[in-house]
Structure 1
Amino acid sequence: MLKTSLLAASAFAAMALPVSAASAQEAGDIQVRAFVTGVLPDGEITDVNADLFGLPADAQTNVTDSVVPTIAAEYFIASNFSIETICCITTTDVDGIGGLAGTNLINNAIVLPATLTGKFHLTNDSGFKPYIGGGVTHFFIFDEGVGPDAAALGIDDVNLSNEFGFVLQAGADIDLNDTGMVLGVDVKRYFVDTTANFNAGGVNIINTDHKLDPWVISAGLGFRF
């Protein structure tokens, strides 16, 4: 539901706002955009590496969605090519589904997705400037809390591994005036996994691999100078 709503809102904003003419971006330009961002991860278990607990055969997990503020900073190497990095932190839970339905396993894990992308821009004289891109990411995950249902089973420590991955990106900047102010709409798809370790008294009880692969959907305002 959140994913559908954010996609619809982004598409409506891009179509509804008027497009004003502005000069095309040039090599050396810098653009900074402030976004409201929906982070929509997966969380599916892809492998069970260790299971001293005895998980149900249909045990699965889901990582909760979140909405956070983000900042994107971009440098134009050429008029049609830029490099971009983002700054954001999300807080998320890992909940059980299937045979683990209704359980909270990991609570308030903090995710810092260090990301660098290269973007190819369609150069034109209109105020509508679409782009596509891709790059690399490293997910730093820390401060994971033991969920109450995991704690009830004797688990006293949980850890999600930091991992490298890659990201695809598409979006558009829409000029709002001739001074460099833009409306930005951006969609990223990350491809990154993590390994979860559940420990009790120093013993690794459960070790599972998970597909995170979040959609990251953003809309906001920016300024190019």
Structure 2
Amino acid sequence: MKKFLVAALAGTAMFAAPAQAADNDGKLQVKLLGTLVAPDGKITDINTDIVGLPATTQTEASDNFVPTLAIEYFAAPNFSIETICCVTQHDVDAVAGLPGAELVSDAKVIPATFTAKYHFDLGGVKPYLGAGATYFWWVDVEPGADTIPLGVTRTTLSDEFGLVLQAGTDIALGDSGLGLTIDAKRYFVDTTARWYAGDTLAIETEHKLDPWVLSAGVSYRF
């Protein structure tokens, strides 16, 4: 990684003239993206189990494809702050122990995310690296279809803070501010799942989410 950064900075120096022109670029960039959200969802710990889950029980979360809006502010020609807006929906199914059982249905999460990004100016192509923080806010969670016959009446997923790493490329389409964007993020965030039968906590499990979030779309800088 260190060698990559040195090489990238050296390359930036070779393009000093385009970098100077970047001073005239707009401060704001808006992106409309198509995004694949691919979480893990596996169980890392079982804290409570009055049901008697099979010892081999393991889970995974479903992928989802969603539209994403990103807004980016350039504090300097090569440094920006970005936030994204989207809602993504996932099921959690058992893949071992109870294979095929739907445990969580239509869980909707808002992944509030802020990243700081450094842009390498190569003229019309500007690759970047970033890092930041996220807060996963679950706004709606339903019990899975296979838990309801067992007496489950309510399911929750805990809201959690996490970290984000980011890499991508902005590609200018002429001088109008329009461009293309390719972006990849890796989130590091967990959640605690709870299943209730009435007021009784029946199952509580810890899950690793850690989704890959892969996006592509159009941008406009002004």
- Flag whether TM exceeds 0.5 (same fold): yes
Residue identity in the other structure for 1:64: S
Structure 1: distance between partners of 2:24 and 2:91: 42
User: Is the 2:109–2:140 Cα contact (8 Å) retained in structure 1?
Assistant: no
Give a deviation string over 1:78-117, Cα, whole Å, max 9, x none. 1110000000000111111111211111111111000000
Aligned to 2:170: 173
Indicate whether 1:144 and 2:141 are aligned. Answer: yes
Q: Given the alignment, which residue of 90, 93, 102 partners 1:92?
A: 90
Structure 1: distance between partners of 2:68 and 2:44: 29
Aligned to 1:32: 30
Q: Residues 174-213 of structure 1 correspond to what in structure 2 (within 5 A)?
A: 174-213=171-210
Structure 1 unaligned runs (5+)? 1-20
Structure 2: distance between partners of 1:31 and 1:88: 17
Task: State the TM-score, normalized to the length of structure 1.
Answer: 0.88
Moved over 3 A (4+): 25-28
Aligned to 1:116: 114
Q: Given the alignment, which residue of 155, 158, 177 partners 2:155?
A: 158
User: Is the 1:80–1:123 Cα contact (8 Å) retained in structure 2?
Assistant: yes
Aligned to 1:65: 63
- Structure 1's 195 and 77: CA in aligned 2 closer, same or farther, altered over 3 A? same
User: After alignment, is 205-214 or 144-153 more displaced?
Assistant: 144-153
Give a deviation string over 1:133-159, Cα, whole Å, max 9, x none. 000000001211111101011111100
Structure number with bigger Rg: 2
Aligned to 2:6: none
Structure 2: distance between partners of 1:25 and 1:49: 54
Residue identity in the other structure for 2:119: H
Indicate whether 1:134 and 2:131 are aligned. Answer: yes
SS of equivalent to 2:147: helix
User: Is the 1:28–1:77 Cα contact (8 Å) retained in structure 2?
Assistant: no
Structure 2: distance between partners of 1:26 and 1:136: 29
- Structure 1's 41 and 103: CA in aligned 2 closer, same or farther, altered over 3 A? same
Give a deviation string over 1:7-55, Cα, whole Å, max 9, x none. xxxxxxxxxxxxxx99526586100000000000000100000110111
Structure 1: distance between partners of 2:49 and 2:92: 18
Structure 2 unaligned runs (5+)? 1-17
Percent identity for Structure 1 against Structure 2: 54
Aligned to 1:75: 73
SS of equivalent to 1:177: coil
Aligned to 2:214: 217
Aligned residues: 204
- Structure 1's 137 and 75: CA in aligned 2 closer, same or farther, altered over 3 A? same
User: Is the 1:26–1:76 Cα contact (8 Å) retained in structure 2?
Assistant: no
Structure 2: distance between partners of 1:116 and 1:29: 17
User: Is the 1:27–1:76 Cα contact (8 Å) retained in structure 2?
Assistant: no
